[in-house]
Structure 1
Amino acid sequence: MKRVLITGAAGFLGSHLCDRFLKEGYYVIAMDNLITGDLKNIEHLKGDENFEFINHDVSEHIDLEGDLDYILHFASPASPIDYLKIPIQTLKVGSLGTHNLLGLAKAKNARMLIASTSEVYGDPLVHPQTEEYYGNVNPIGPRGVYDEAKRFQEAITMAYHTYHGVETRIVRIFNTYGPRMRLNDGRVLPAFIGQALRGEDLTVFGEGNQTRSFCYVDDLIEGIYRLLLSDYALPVNIGNPDEITILDFCKEIIKLTGTDQKIIYKDLPVNDPMQRQPNIDKARSILGWEPKVNRAEGLKITYEYFKSLSPEQLNKVEHKNFDEYVK
């Protein structure tokens, strides 16, 4: 039985990766320090004999016994609210954490995939974004701690691949949604749904002309799985190129939830990307991958998940400056 280490395993994407690799017959070692993750996301795996959980911060030394075939590094805060609350930890997990895991991959002769992000492109001057685009990033802005952590993560991963011969893969993840997202974490989709469920007016920043491209989580996990098992070491965009303006997306959420709240407008956050759309030509040609779940179908599933949350979860506010950091 092959063994895989998944960091950030109690988070949104990490928990879905645990499900997928258990389904594929792997022994899964889940690692998370729970700074933003939630054990509820992996509670259903507790009794599985091929699953174990380790509470550990990957920014500290990692000592893992036994063979290891794969490492998937998803241990990173992934919302603007988190960047504000824990900026140093965000930088450390992208730098020290990645360094520690690459060292472990080298020692175990394991293949390692890192979760990078479309945020490495910053506020892009090229549209749609291809993997060859170097980006337009403000390293000292409010998003800089996340953007630069991910850019460094890619650089050190390629260095270990080039100079130490470590088998590495880099996935650049675009906006993803689905069950197990944190409702009030500052990202636009759960923000809109949360406001709708609480009977609040929906907040659009600027005039709502900025665009996003939303990929359902099952499609993303499939792309990640294919990339891990591929022979391609350079970055690959995984996302849904179906682009929509924030204002139109807000109207979709209002229609989906059947609410009659107003749309209110606030100033744009600092360095908020105006366009976000992946070019997925590489994923199509190298991995034979493209998204299958359309936005209407994925939103319906996600909305049903959020409706099932308790009133306590629904009304939890993660940070007082939430509105300034919506992604």
Structure 2
Amino acid sequence: MKRVLVTGAAGFLGSHLCDRFIKEGFYVIGMDNYITGDKKNLAHLANHPRFEFIKHDVTEFVEIEGNLDYILHFASPASPIDYLKIPIQTLKVGSLGTHNLLGLAKAKDARILIASTSEVYGDPLVHPQTEDYYGNVNTIGPRGVYDEAKRFQESITMAYHRFHGLETRIVRIFNTYGPRMRLNDGRVIPAFIGQALRGEDLTVFGDGLQTRSFCYVDDQVEGIYRLLLSDYAYPVNIGNPHEITIKDFAEEIIRLTGTKQKIVYKDLPQNDPLQRQPDISLAKKILNWEPKIDRAEGMKITYNYFKTLTKEELFKSEHKDFAQHIKK
């Protein structure tokens, strides 16, 4: 039986990856320190015979008994509110955590997939973004703690690949959504849906003409799974290339939820990317992958998930004024 370690297992993407590998017949070891993850995301696997959970911070030495075939490193704050509240931990998990897991992969002769992000492109000057674009990143800006953690993560991963001959994979993840997202984590989709469900006006930063491209979680997981099992060692964009402005998306949410709120505008946060759209030509070529679930279908599933949240969860605010927070 193949054994896989998933770090960040209690997070949004990590928990869906655990489900996928269980479905594929793997023995799954989930690891998380719950700094941003949620125990309820793994509750359904608690008694599964092919799942075990280890509470651990990967910035400390990581030891796993027995053999390992694969490691997926998804331990990292991923939302703006998280990495701006805990900037040092964000940098450490991208550097020390990645170093520890690369060392574990070397010791176990395991293949390791590193979760990178479209944020390595910063506020891009090339559109859409291809894997050979080096990016436009402010290293000392408020978002730099996340962007540079991920850029370093890619660099040290390629160093292990070239110097030690380690089997490595790097996925650059673009905006992903679906069930198990945290409602108030500062990302666009849960922020808009949360405001709609609470009867609040929808907050758009800037003029709303900045763009995003949203990929449903099942499509994202499929791309990650195919990349892990491929023979390609360099970064690959996995995301949905269908681009939409934030203003148009806010109007789409209002129609989806049937609410009567209006859109209100606030100042654009510092270094917030104005365009975000993946070029997925490489994923199509080497993985035979492209997203299958359109936004209307995926958003309906996601909205129905958020409607199941309790009133306490719905009205919990992780930060009252996100724009002011990231200007600090």
Q: How big is the shift at 1:299?
A: 0.2
Map 1:86-235 onto structure 2 (within 5 A): 86-235=86-235
SS in 1 for 2:169: strand
AA matched with 1:88: I
Q: How big is the shift at 1:83?
A: 1.4
1:282 aligns with 2:282: yes
Q: Counterpart in 1 of 2:316?
A: 316
Map 1:34-53 onto structure 2 (within 5 A): 34-53=34-53
Structure 1 alignment gaps of length 5 or more: none
Q: How big is the shift at 1:63?
A: 1.3
CA distance in 2, matches of 1:84, 1:321: 13
CA distance in 1, matches of 2:320, 2:312: 17
Q: Deviations over 1:107-156 (max 9, x none)?
A: 00000000000000000000000000000000111100000000000000
Would the aligned equivalents of 1:269 and 1:325 in 2 still touch at CA under 8 Å? Answer: no
CA distance in 1, matches of 2:155, 2:324: 30
CA distance in 2, matches of 1:36, 1:324: 21
Q: How big is the shift at 1:325?
A: 6.2
* Structure 1 residue runs of 4 or more that deviate by more than 4 Å after TM superposition: none
Q: Counterpart in 2 of 1:247?
A: 247
Q: Deviations over 1:74-121 (max 9, x none)?
A: 000001101121000000000000000000000000000000000000
Q: Counterpart in 2 of 1:25?
A: 25
Would the aligned equivalents of 1:5 and 1:29 in 2 still touch at CA under 8 Å? Answer: yes
Q: How big is the shift at 1:178?
A: 0.1
Q: How big is the shift at 1:272?
A: 0.5
Cα gap change, 1:325/1:113 in structure 2, threshold over 3 Å: closer, same or farther? farther
CA distance in 2, matches of 1:201, 1:37: 28
Structure 2 alignment gaps of length 5 or more: none
AA matched with 2:295: R
CA distance in 2, matches of 1:207, 1:240: 23
CA distance in 1, matches of 2:141, 2:282: 30
SS in 1 for 2:154: helix
SS in 2 for 1:148: helix
CA distance in 1, matches of 2:141, 2:254: 32
AA matched with 2:105: A
Q: How many residues align?
A: 326
1:304 aligns with 2:278: no
Q: Counterpart in 2 of 1:62?
A: 62
Q: How big is the shift at 1:236?
A: 0.1
CA distance in 1, matches of 2:121, 2:271: 12
AA matched with 1:271: N
